Amino acid sequence: MRFLTAALFSLVFTTALAGDYEDGLTAYDRKDYATALTKWRRATQQGSASAQFNLGVMYEKGQGVAQDYKEAARWYQLAAQQGETGAQFNLGLMYSNGRGVVKDDKETARWFQLAALQGYADAQFNLGLMYERGQGVVQDYKEAVRLYQQAAIQGVAEAQYNLGVMYREGRGVAQDDKEAVRWYQLAADQGISSALYNLGLMHSKGRGVIQDYKEAVRWWRLAAINGDADAQSYLGVMYEKGQGVAQDYKEAMRLYKLAARQGLGSAHFNLGLMHLDGKGVPQDYARARMWFNLSAVDGHSDSAKNRDTLARMMTAQQIEQAQRMARECMSSKFTKCD
């Protein structure tokens, strides 16, 4: 899970600075960046942290000025030292990415911490990631869970999903499948594909919920529509076996191919089996071996054995054809494999 990205403009301003600051916002909204810069520079002369922060954003994005990460970091630093949470968060991202400053995970964690203490949800989530990974801080799953909870309660979907994973795996918290499902559901409601996929797994295995293949299919279908390769492959398995849906080898093939185009080894393996057994397609040893070759490269445990067993049933010409097709498929990044 990647960090959440930079905060945008601060909309908080004091009465004394309202004129220049508001004028700057109005100018920015109409894309008059030169005027916005002039107004906000004037506001910074009176110590406006919000104006300092906004100038940092403009230098980072190259709006009305040449893009300059060092200058952006300088303005963020000034605003952050005054307690501007968006600036603290963005400065943490600058240290994380080494933009305008030397990359420094400890400094990243320090600025995220300051923003998190003020209730900044994205900072809470990002700091949670750092504690989970032990990046810039001592690894601490309990602290990661605490921070994810703070962000999740504020509606950060990625935090809700990660919290579900922590409950499912029992990291930093007592293992609890029902609680995992609850957090996955909240993240899924916000469209997080990994949460949709995991809800499919939970329903297919009866973890935290009553086992229900139809529900598993429903969740995997939603994730598959979002392009989740694992969901596409699992949904293909359900169609192949007729679990939760009417058995349909052609639909299974279609879904396996979608996942295979994303490089998923298990989908490559399943396509090999379908061609070997003639399910949904004519039986084709050369194409089966091609898919087993590809899944073997991905480290699938049974692929090499299936490939070598199949070789004893093939002619030298068929084996060479399979090798050629595998090379073409890989060189095309799995777009020319049919």
Tell me: the pLDDT tens digits for 111-123?
A: 999 999 999 999 9
- How high is the pLDDT of residue 8? 55
- How high is the pLDDT of residue 18? 60
Question: 108 and 96 in contact (C-beta within 8 Å)?
Answer: yes
When pLDDT is averaged across residues 33-42 and rounded to a whole number, the result is 91
pLDDT at 14 over 80: no
When pLDDT is averaged across residues 137-166 and rounded to a whole number, the result is 97
Averaged pLDDT score across all residues of the chain: 91
Q: Can you list the pairs that 102-110 forms with residues at least 24 positions away whose Cβ atoms lie under 8 Å? A: 104/136, 105/130, 105/135, 105/136, 106/136, 106/137, 107/136, 108/136, 109/135, 109/136, 109/137
pTM of the full structure: 0.88
Tell me: the pLDDT tens digits for 202-250?
A: 999 999 999 999 999 999 999 999 999 999 999 999 999 999 999 999 9
pLDDT at 4 over 80: no
- How high is the pLDDT of residue 59? 94
pLDDT at 13 over 70: no
Domains along the chain with CATH numbers: 1-82 (1.25.40), 271-338 (no CATH)
- How high is the pLDDT of residue 161? 97
pLDDT at 11 over 80: no
Please report, rounded to a whole number, the percentage of residues in the chain having pLDDT higher than 70: 95
More confident residue, 182 or 313: 182
pLDDT at 9 over 80: no
pLDDT at 12 over 50: no
